[in-house]
Structures are given as C-alpha cells and as structure tokens.
Structure 1
Amino acid sequence: MNRKPAYSRSVTEQEWAWTFLGLALLFGSFVRILPGLLTGFPINDGGMFAVMMRDLRENNFLLPAFTTYNLSEIPYAYPPLGFYIGAFVESLGVFGLDALIYLPMAFTVVTIPSFYLLAHELTGSRPHAALAAVFFALAPGNYIWLLMGGGLTRALGMALMTLSFAFVHRALREMNWRTTFLAGLFCALTVLSHPQSALLTFTGCAVFWFFGGRSRIGTILAFVIAMVALLLSSPWWGSVAANHGFGVFLSAGQSGDLGASLSTLLGNLFSRQTILPFSTVFWLLGLGWAVFARRFDLLVWGFLPYLVDQRSAPIATSLLYPILAAYGFLDVLPALINLVRSRKWNVIPEASLFNTHALAMGMLGIAFYLFIECVFHAQIIRTVSLTPNAIEAMVWARENTPAESSFLILTGREDVMTDPVQEWFPALAERHSETTLQGLEWTLKDEFVNRWAQLGNLQSCRDADCIRARVREMDLEFTHLLVDASKLSPGMFLSEGYEILFDNGRYVVLK
C-alpha cells in the first residue's frame, strides 16, 4: 500500500521576510526596553538636556537665548526638537527625570522599523532588508548610546536620519514630487534633532545625488529637498543666529575630530560587538560582494563620513554594516557553500534560499545568540547610571552651599565628556562646576579640544601637587571640592587647609 506524501509547501518571500522582521522588532525592542527598566535614573548622561527642558518650560516653550545649565551663559543653540518633546511630556506630569529614560527608549525602538524602510529602499529586497534589520536590532553598539539620557536627541536624530535617507533615495529614484517634499520634511526634522545626524544626513544625501540623481530633474529635486529642509528648520537656526551669530555653529562644528584616519576606519571595520563575531564575518563577506557588484554608492555612503567627522562616522557604518551582513549571509555564504561542495561558484536563487532548511535554522540560531548577548549587555549598560551616593552628594551641595559656589569635581575619570558625575552635577546641585565640559562646544571654538585634553589630564592626577599644577594651568577658580574617595584620598586635601563638609563613604565635599 502506497503512503501519500506528507503535505508540504514552499515558504514565500513575504513569509520569510515578515518572520525575520518580526524577530528583529520583537527581540530588538525587548533589549532596548530592558536597560531602562533595570535602572531608576537616566543612563549615563542627559544632565544638560534635563536643564534645557526645564528652561524651555519656564520660558513658556519659547526658545531662550541662554540655558541656565552650569550657570555659564551657554547659548541655547542645540537643536531643540527633542527638548520640546521632552518638555511637553514633563508638563503633562507623567514623568519627571524619567522622561530621559523612557523617551530615549521609545525613540531607539523606532530606529528598527525606520532602518528596515531604509534597508528595503537601498537593497530593493524585503528579505535582505528584514535580515539587515535583525543584524541592526541585535548589535549592542548600535543602540547603547541611544538609550542614555542624551538619547533624547541622539535616538530621535537617528530615527529621523534613517527616514531622511530612505525618502531622499526614493525621491531621486522615483523622481516624485510628493516623496520629495516628505524627504525635505524628514531632513528638516533631522536638522532640528541632533547636529551630528544633520551633518551625516547632508553627507549621505549628497552621495545619493552623486550616484543616482545627477540628471537635470534629479538635481532640481535635490535642490528642492535642501530648500524645504532649510525653510522648515529656519525658525530655530534663524533665532540662534539672531541672538549669537552664525559663529556659534562653527564653534560647535570644531568640537569633533575632522581629521581623516584609515586606522580608525579599519578598527571599526574589524570590530566585534559579540563574543562570537557572526555579524562581523557576514559584513566582511558583504563588503566583498559590494565591491564585486559595484555597489560603490553603499560603500561611499557608509565610509565617507570618516573623511568628514570621525566622531559621528561610526553612526554611518552602524547603518551600512547590517546591510552588508545581509548580503553576506544571503548571497555570499550560500555561494561559498556551493563552491565547497561542487567547486562551482553559483549564486543561489532567492526562492531556493527561502526553502533551505539549514540556512533558515542557522539564521534563527544566530538571531537567538545575538539576542542573548544583548540581554547580557543590558546588565552592563545599567551600571553606567549615576549612583545613589553621587545623587546624595549633589542634593546635599544644592541644599547646603551658597548659590554662588563653584566646584572642582575630581572623579578620576579621564574622559570627562562621558562622566555622569561631571554632567549631572550642575543639573542636580544647581551649582557651577569648573570641570564640566558639556555645553562649552558652543563657546570655546577651537579651544574646546584642548580644554577636553586638559581636563582629562587633571582627572589623571593622584596627588595634590599634580592637581595644583593642572588647576593653575587652566586658571580654574573654585570654592569647593567634590572628590570620589574611591579614586582619591580626601586626606591629601586636609593638609592643604581644606575641611570636610560632607562624606557618605564614596563622595566627599570639601571647602
């Protein structure tokens, strides 16, 4: 008796794509939400933004000329869209400082579907875009900085930048006026969100025009996109220019690293974000494919920022690498396997790939592994929040020192721009800090990088003589010290005539 064959059917392209996109959204959202739920305070930075949101509310949502942050007459020149959203949410009474936990979290989740739209536009393939979304969503380096308090603007800028890229590319491809105006709108919103995102958007859109829009109509559409973006963002930059001149933007532009560095690019290219470097292997395979397929538009779009601003360049490659990884997995890997088996190089048709059990199971296994790694990273991310001891010291300083007090903060952390104590002190203590660098990119011009290095040298000191010399070099004036006792012994200052006013076992305030 003949048995009937078991029923089977082929997996369609749409089913394959939706499965992996669903995994990207589900797993990616979970690992972005988890760190914020594990901490009761904004992750790492965001102190300056907390004050700027308060300034906006107290000025009836009109842009003030200066922010009260650190009592330093810092121009209120930062792109304000994130502050408006945060200040509005705070005004509802739902969140206080928690807005700097939940808004970055929400914006970071939004980057996943916005990246999928971009990947679909650049690849023209839903399966490639869905797989790229998996690699993007489950790469810790792609979202750690976005989840921090400063992600109020960073994550918002990232989400809007990816949408800008997608719509600009589509506008130049379809030569469509409706898409052109949408592209201009998203570009304007990006400009209003984050300065680095704005710079990357300009660079990326120029690349898209160069490779796909140099016709007469393409050039006209590109010009219209630029004009719409400038016009819609003009209430902000026009107000800032009227109050402070355009020089304030030039000052902020000099705070990055504008030098080209091949070593930095190579270090980024061969970096690994997980113990088993699946993503790195696949994007390197995809890089070879991109060269072979002459997708120089992708490569220039992703790598050109390393010649413009190294500080923001990794943001561009965080968008490029997942797309290359998708090509590496779906195009190069099956061809390599076929080459080993049959000694022939054949690119496997997509319809066959979707129904290759081993390939699908392998990708599912990789996705689960990347998800587990991201969960472990969530435990690490939460450790960079401000500690209760630090918050206690700052609150004490606010309640027990004169308003005109000026503090020298010594934490022993040499990169002062990533030190949460340095940034949050002016926000929570409401006192001036001589060692806080945030905001000075708008005022110090080309001296900003030098000041950054000098403050790092100060934090590296471990004795009173070194500290005294560094303070004299920078001509710092202060009335109080805030010292991290785990890095420096407060006793060294007692012989200098200081007295301890506050000590909670970790942080010490001296005068």
Structure 2
Amino acid sequence: MTRGTTTSRSVRRLRSLFERFRAAVENAGATVPFDARDGPWLGLALLPGVVAVAVYLATNAYPAYGAGLYAKISAEIVAHGYSLPARIPGYTADGVPFAYPPLQFYLYAALVDLGGDPVAISRFLPSVGFLAALVPIYLLGRDVAGSRPAGAAAVGLVALNPQILEWHLSAGGVVRAFAFCYATVAVYAGYRTFARDEATRAASLRPRRGAIGVGAFAFGLTVLTHPVYSLFVVVSYVLFWLLCDRSLPGFAAGLAVGLGGALLASPWLAWVLTTHGVGVFTAASGTHGGVGGGADALAGAISPGIAVALVPAVYLAIRREYLLPVWLVVAELVFKQPRFAYTVAAVLVPAVAVTLLRARDADSDSLHRRNLGFSDINDDGDADATGVGVDRRAAAAAAVILLGTLVGGAYFAYETTLVTDPSTPEFLDGDDVEAMAWIATETDPDARFVVLGDAAEWLPALTDRTLLVGYWGVEWEGSAAFDRQDAAYESVSRCQSVACVEGVATGVGDDRPTHVFVPKGQYTIRGENAAQFGTIERSFERSERWERAYENDGVVIYRATDVGTG
C-alpha cells in the first residue's frame, strides 16, 4: 500500500467524521429554534434573573446556607489527583462515604486548584448555573404557549420566586443550580420530542433525532449532578409520552434518552457500585426528604403559590388540555420541596394567559392576532413570519415583566435584609472565618471539634480538622446513623451548658472533643435564627475541664484541659 493511498484514506476518514459532527450540530440546532426575534424577549427574560443575582450578592457577604462538605469533597478530589476519593475525612470521627454524583465537584475542584477561595466560589458560582437555567425555561415557556412574551414571563416567575432562589442561588447551588440547568435542557428536549402534533412529528425526523441527542446528553449530565433533578426529568418524560404521544416510536425515543444518559453516567455508576455497593444508595434513600411530598399535599399542606396556580390549571383541564395541569399536580405530589412544581407553574400561568387572549381574539373574530407581540411558534419550532413589532400588546407584556421585575426584586431585597432572612441565611460570617483560620494554624491536626450552629458545616473544609457532631454526608451510612447525627446536631446547637455539650458528644461516639466552638449572640441552626446570651460561656468558664483558647467578637473556642490537644 502506497503512502498516497494511506493519506487518501485518512483524509476520507477525517471528512466522514467532520460530516457526522456537522450533522449532529445541525440536528441539535434544529432542536432549539432561535432567531433574531427571540433576542429582545430573551434579554428581557434574563433581566429578573440578573436582578435577583445582584440583590443576593449585594445582601450576602458570605454564601447563604452551606457548601462546606462540597468544598471538602473538591479539595479531596484535588488531593487524589482528580480521581474520586472513597471517603471524605473530617465529617464525624470516621469520615463519610463519597457517593455523590461528581460532575460539579470536578468544576469546583478545578476552581480550587486554580487558587479560588472555597467561600467565594460558593458565593458566586451558583449564579452562573442559575442564569444559564433561565435560557431553556424561556424556550420551554415560549414553545408551550407559542409566544415569546410568555417565555419571558415564565423566566420572570422562576427568577423571582423566593423558594427557587433559596435552593439555587445559595451555596448549595454549586450543585443544584447546574442540576436545574441540565434538567431544564433535558425537559425542553423532551417537550420537543413528544409534545408535537402527528403531522409535524412525521415530517420532522431530523429535529426529533436532535432532540433525542440533546435530551440524552443533558439527562446524563443531570444524573452526574443530582439524583432528585434526574427524577424530575424522568417524571417529565413519562408524562410527555403518556399525554402527548403514546406511540412505539415515542417510547423508543424516550428509552434512547434514558439509555444515552445512563451510558454517559456509567463510569461513575460503575465506580460507586464497585467501591460501595448498591447498599449505599438504599441507605441514603429518604434521609433528606427530597421525594414524596404527596402525603403532605393530600393532607392540605400545599404551597400557597401552587394553590393559586391550580386555578388556571383547572381552566386548561376544562379545555381538555391536560399536559400542564397533570404535570403540575404530579410535581407537587412526587417532590417534597415545591421548587419543581413552581417551575411547572411558571410555564403554566403565562400559557393560560395567552390562551385566554387568543380565545378572546377568536370570539371577536380578530384578524390581526398574528401581528401582535404574542406571535405563534409553529409546531416545528420555527417562529412565524409576523415578528414582534412594537404594538400595544407586546408593549403591555414588556411593561408587565418590567413591573414584575421591579416589584419582585424589591421584595427579594426586603426579604434578604431582614434579621430573620428566611431565604438566604448565611451559615458563617467574618468572625467564623477568622476563628477557623486560627484553628487551621494553631491547633493540632488531630483536634476534634464540636461546633454549635450552622458554621459547623464549614469547619472541616476551612480547617482540615474533625467535626464530631454533624449530619452532613452521613446519609450514605444509613438512616439510623443519619438520624442519630441529625438529632445530636440539633441538640448540641441549642445547648446552654458544658454538661449538655459533653452528653451529646458522648452519645454519637467514643471520641471526646478537644475543642468546642461557641457562637456569641445571633447564629443559625439549619437556617433558622437562634441566639446565645452568655449562659453557655459562663458554664464553660466555671468548668475545670475546659479553658478559653480563642475569642473574637462573634466566637469563643474552649479547649479541653484533660485531653491531648494542640
């Protein structure tokens, strides 16, 4: 074989790969129809999200809630040369198993490896994932209602919902915000796959193939990020197929998405099963209450916003348009936290508004509906030729979104500046960080800590010391261990005496604490406000078994006098 023949075959092979890549890109592009007329509405849609992020960062000098365990996991990944660690030290005396989906921890680890401060990363990174998630929500809202303003309104309802912001802008958003983004991409791809009339479905094979590919990839990323969001994708696909398709090709398409996502996540799944066994998943199931909100909802404990959204949902059901009402009810019943139902409601409410306007137009025999801002989107996803010119209805829609942004942003700012901030409470502050810096440099590496309050979650990550009492990561040990640590953490955080602290610490293990970290004044317990008024400090000062080792304006640390310490 000549060198020229070999070169020719290599060139043909490269051309073939390039053509396949280009076809894949074209298929994906056909899945996401977007043109110049979407630009202004998407820009308007992102405004509420930008406002929410700006308010959060302006009012939270430190990240809301906690990501200390995530920071510690990421540091361990770096320490292991980017291979996955079997256990995470520092959380309880023996550490905790690592079985979390790892995708976002690799991103966190890379940022830490580049010199990023874990606290700063946990404050800023969630905003990136949250804003990215608003794009597929716009596309979904637009396509469901056939209206660009409806897509923008859906984003506004998501971006300024305090419950959604609480879960995705806070420190835990380093995982959850990106899971939300990947899940909404997968759900949008699922809608493009199933929720199309038969004529369009038969004539649009390439967009459907693209939707399957995008859905499989996004679902795989979701599986590699967060299990509850993965379940949201699965539930959504099942409903889309049952209510919009019910064909064998549709079933095969959904199966392809599931298998494709599983294939993408298979290296991690194989590692977890060989390292920990399947028991690690059964041990963790049900410990955090992410799934199974149905009992509470059926008992009447339904979220107020969802109760309001049920009114337009009933209207759609009367019209025999079942997808959105059923999706809303199922999301409320399946998931304990209402953030998923709120996301569905954000799509449903603008869609009903558009439906009502179109019904009114039809009743008045309006011939100009297609020239208004609520322009139709054809079944294949391409916008119609009417555009979004400046007219009264488009201007009114934009004004409503701007007014909603102003009012919603002001309310969120008010809520986040309350002393009893219910949405974005900070687990640590400057005094906690200063105290932990002292711990990292002035205590023995084998020191064992009990910490009162939520700052506990950050201690192993910022000090490399052991936290004896805390439930973070313990779910992988089973419900009994988790419940024991959970109850102990609640109890010790409310202790008012040395005897109380020592008794709780003894109840979770044989290792005695060498140090106790006590907040002064206001602090939080699981995000709820609490306060110390000096009672526990006086108890430690009177005890011969403890001495004050460190103090600043917000923290006092006591050291055991009869245990080997640093």
TM-score, structure 2 as length reference: 0.75
- Aligned in 2, Cα 1:332/1:206: closer, same or farther, shift over 3 Å? same
Equivalent in the alignment of 1:214: 246
Q: Contact 2:243–2:323 at 8 Å: present in 1 too?
A: yes
Shift of 1:396: 1.8
Aligned match for 1:493, one of 536, 540, 543? 540
- Aligned in 2, Cα 1:303/1:69: closer, same or farther, shift over 3 Å? farther
Q: Contact 1:67–1:74 at 8 Å: present in 2 too?
A: yes
Aligned match for 1:164, one of 176, 183, 186? 186
Q: Which ranges of structure 1 fall in alignment gaps of 5 or more residues?
A: 1-13, 273-279, 339-343, 412-418
Aligned mates of 2:297, 2:370 — CA distance in 1: 36
Aligned mates of 1:90, 1:469 — CA distance in 2: 37
Q: Contact 1:458–1:470 at 8 Å: present in 2 too?
A: yes
- Aligned in 2, Cα 1:386/1:33: closer, same or farther, shift over 3 Å? same
Trace 1:51-450 onto structure 2 (pairs within 5 A). 51-70=72-91, 72-93=94-115, 97-173=119-195, 174=201, 176-257=208-289, 258-264=291-297, 267-271=301-305, 283-310=309-336, 313-332=337-356, 355-356=391-392, 359-360=396-397, 361-362=399-400, 364-377=402-415, 379=417, 384=426, 386-411=428-453, 419=454, 421-450=455-484
Does the alignment pair 1:24 with 2:45? Answer: yes
Aligned mates of 2:115, 2:515 — CA distance in 1: 35
Aligned mates of 1:459, 1:347 — CA distance in 2: 66
SS in 2 for 1:393: helix
Shift of 1:347: 11
SS in 2 for 1:501: strand
- Aligned in 2, Cα 1:228/1:17: closer, same or farther, shift over 3 Å? closer
- Aligned in 2, Cα 1:181/1:362: closer, same or farther, shift over 3 Å? closer
Trace 1:3-22 onto structure 2 (pairs within 5 A). 19-22=40-43
1:164-187 CA-to-partner distances (Å, cap 9, x unmatched) read: 111122223446223212211110
Report the aligned-residue RMSD.
Answer: 3.2
Equivalent in the alignment of 1:5: none
Aligned mates of 1:89, 1:451 — CA distance in 2: 31
Shift of 1:160: 0.4
Q: Contact 2:190–2:215 at 8 Å: present in 1 too?
A: yes
Aligned mates of 1:35, 1:142 — CA distance in 2: 13
Shift of 1:463: 4.1
Aligned mates of 1:507, 1:262 — CA distance in 2: 41
AA in 2 matched with 1:439: G
Equivalent in the alignment of 1:502: 550
Aligned mates of 2:262, 2:185 — CA distance in 1: 17
1:377-426 CA-to-partner distances (Å, cap 9, x unmatched) read: 45456762521111122222222222222112223xxxxxxx2x021011
Q: Contact 1:79–1:194 at 8 Å: present in 2 too?
A: yes
Greater shift after overlay, 237-246 or 372-381? 372-381
SS in 1 for 2:179: helix
SS in 2 for 1:499: strand
SS in 2 for 1:182: helix
Q: Contact 2:150–2:354 at 8 Å: present in 1 too?
A: yes
SS in 2 for 1:482: strand
- Aligned in 2, Cα 1:328/1:366: closer, same or farther, shift over 3 Å? farther
Shift of 1:210: 2.2
- Aligned in 2, Cα 1:62/1:453: closer, same or farther, shift over 3 Å? same
1:46-84 CA-to-partner distances (Å, cap 9, x unmatched) read: 111111111112222222222234363322211111111
Aligned mates of 2:515, 2:415 — CA distance in 1: 37
Aligned mates of 2:339, 2:89 — CA distance in 1: 30
Greater shift after overlay, 235-244 or 137-146? 137-146
Q: Contact 1:121–1:166 at 8 Å: present in 2 too?
A: no
Aligned mates of 2:449, 2:51 — CA distance in 1: 40
Q: Contact 2:147–2:354 at 8 Å: present in 1 too?
A: no
Greater shift after overlay, 143-152 or 156-165? 143-152
Equivalent in the alignment of 1:415: none
Shift of 1:350: 7.2
Q: Contact 2:45–2:138 at 8 Å: present in 1 too?
A: no
Q: Contact 2:151–2:347 at 8 Å: present in 1 too?
A: yes
- Aligned in 2, Cα 1:333/1:218: closer, same or farther, shift over 3 Å? closer
Aligned mates of 1:198, 1:295 — CA distance in 2: 26
Equivalent in the alignment of 1:478: 513
Greater shift after overlay, 184-193 or 440-449? 440-449
Greater shift after overlay, 481-490 or 357-366? 357-366
SS in 1 for 2:47: helix
AA in 2 matched with 1:298: L
AA in 1 matched with 2:548: I
Q: Contact 1:284–1:328 at 8 Å: present in 2 too?
A: no
Q: Contact 1:81–1:192 at 8 Å: present in 2 too?
A: yes
- Aligned in 2, Cα 1:48/1:362: closer, same or farther, shift over 3 Å? closer
Aligned mates of 2:160, 2:42 — CA distance in 1: 12
Aligned mates of 1:479, 1:94 — CA distance in 2: 30
Q: Contact 2:88–2:97 at 8 Å: present in 1 too?
A: yes
SS in 2 for 1:508: strand
1:275-306 CA-to-partner distances (Å, cap 9, x unmatched) read: xxxxx85x354223232233332233333244
AA in 2 matched with 1:480: H
Shift of 1:316: 1.1
The structure that has the greater radius of gyration is: 2
TM-score, structure 1 as length reference: 0.82
Aligned mates of 1:450, 1:328 — CA distance in 2: 47
- Aligned in 2, Cα 1:303/1:450: closer, same or farther, shift over 3 Å? farther
Q: Contact 2:78–2:113 at 8 Å: present in 1 too?
A: yes
Aligned mates of 1:294, 1:254 — CA distance in 2: 36
1:422-468 CA-to-partner distances (Å, cap 9, x unmatched) read: 21011112211122211111113454245423432333343455545
Aligned mates of 1:140, 1:155 — CA distance in 2: 14
Greater shift after overlay, 227-236 or 17-26? 17-26
1:86-132 CA-to-partner distances (Å, cap 9, x unmatched) read: 22233334665422223211111111112112223433433322221
Q: Contact 2:129–2:178 at 8 Å: present in 1 too?
A: yes
Q: Percent identity?
A: 25
SS in 1 for 2:316: helix
